Amino acid sequence: MLSFFKEYRRFAIVFAVISVIIIAIIYNTLNVYQPLPIFQPNMISTELVDSTIQYKKKYHKIADFSLTNQNGKTVTQKDYENKIYVADFFFTTCRTICPIMTKNMADVQKEIMNDDDIMLLSHSVTPEIDTVAQLKRYAIEKGVNDGKWNLVTGDKKQIYRLARQSYLAVKDQGDGGPFDMVHTENFMLIDKKRQIRGFYDGTNKEDIDRLLNDITILKEEYIP
C-alpha cells in the first residue's frame, strides 16, 4: 500500500509539472502582441471633435504647428519629429484639475527622463494669460525639464484648432464664442507618425499607469 502511494505521488508530481508546461505554452501562444489602436475622429465623442471632421474615418494626423515654449523658443512639429509624445491642454491659473494633471505629467516625465524617444507637450488654453514669463515660473515650480517637456503658448485660434481638429481633446465653451473652449483632463499618446494612439484621464493614477504601459507597447512598433 505504501509503495502505491509513493508511485501515485510521483505520478502527481510529473502530471503537475507537465500541466504547468502546457499552461505556459498555451499562455505564450495566446499572449500575442496587440498593437495600440489608431484613433480617428469618428471614434471620439462628438463634443470633443470639430464638426468639420467628426465623420473622418482614416488618415487623421496631428497638424503642423508653431508655438512658443517656456523659454521663448519657437516649438514646431519638427521638434517632435520621430518622437513618441504625450500631449495635454491646461492653463497655469487653473485650480481644479490642472494641478493634478501637471503632477501626474511630472510623474510621467520621471519615468521617461532617460528615454530619448519620448517627449511631453502641454498647450495653454489661455495664452493671453500664459505668457512666456508665466509659463517659465510655472515650469520651475512644477519641475519641468526643458529638454523633455514643452509648455506652449501662442495664437489662441491655432491652439483651438489643434485641440478640436488634431488632438480631439477639448470641448466648446458653449457660449457662442468662436474660439472659446473648456479643456478636459485628457492626456493623448501620439506616435512617430503623428497619430493618436491613446486617451487617458490625466487625473487618474491608474490611467497614468496604463499610459506608461501603452508607451512600452507602442515602442515595440519601432523595434527593427
The pLDDT, as a whole number, for residue 183 is: 81
**CATH label of the domain that carries residue 157:** 3.40.30.10
**Model pLDDT for residues 153-182, shown as the tens digit of each residue:** 999 999 999 999 999 998 866 544 555 667
Assess whether 23 and 57 both reside in one domain. no
Q: What is the pTM of this model?
A: 0.84
Print burial letters for 204-218: b (CB count within 10 Å at least 16), e (below 16): eeebbeebbebbeeb
**pLDDT at 7 > cutoff 80:** no
> What is the count of structural domains for the chain?
2
Q: Which residues pair with 172 in a beta bridge?
A: 181
Q: Is 210 annotated as a binding residue?
A: no
Assess whether 50 and 151 both reside in one domain. yes
Which band of pLDDT confidence, cut at 50, 70 and 90, is reported for residue 203?
very high
- Could you tell me the CA-to-CA distances from 43 to 39, 52, 60, 77, 199 in Å, in that order? 6, 14, 11, 24, 12
The pLDDT, as a whole number, for residue 5 is: 47
Range of the domain at 180: 41-222
Assess whether 129 and 181 both reside in one domain. yes
How does DSSP classify residue 153? B
Q: Is 123 annotated as a binding residue?
A: no
Assess whether 56 and 20 both reside in one domain. no
For 58-73, what is the mean pLDDT? 98
Q: Is 60 annotated as a binding residue?
A: no
Assess whether 117 and 216 both reside in one domain. yes
Q: What angle do CA 173, 176, 181 make, to 5 degrees?
A: 20
Assess whether 140 and 79 both reside in one domain. yes
Region of poorest pLDDT, from 47-51, 63-67, 121-125, 148-152: 47-51
The DSSP-derived string for 70-110 is: TTS-EEEGGGGTT-EEEEEEE-TT--SSHHHHHHHHHHHHH
Residue showing cell 502527481: 12
Assess whether 48 and 17 both reside in one domain. no
**Model pLDDT for residues 76-111, shown as the tens digit of each residue:** 999 999 999 999 999 999 999 999 999 999 999 999
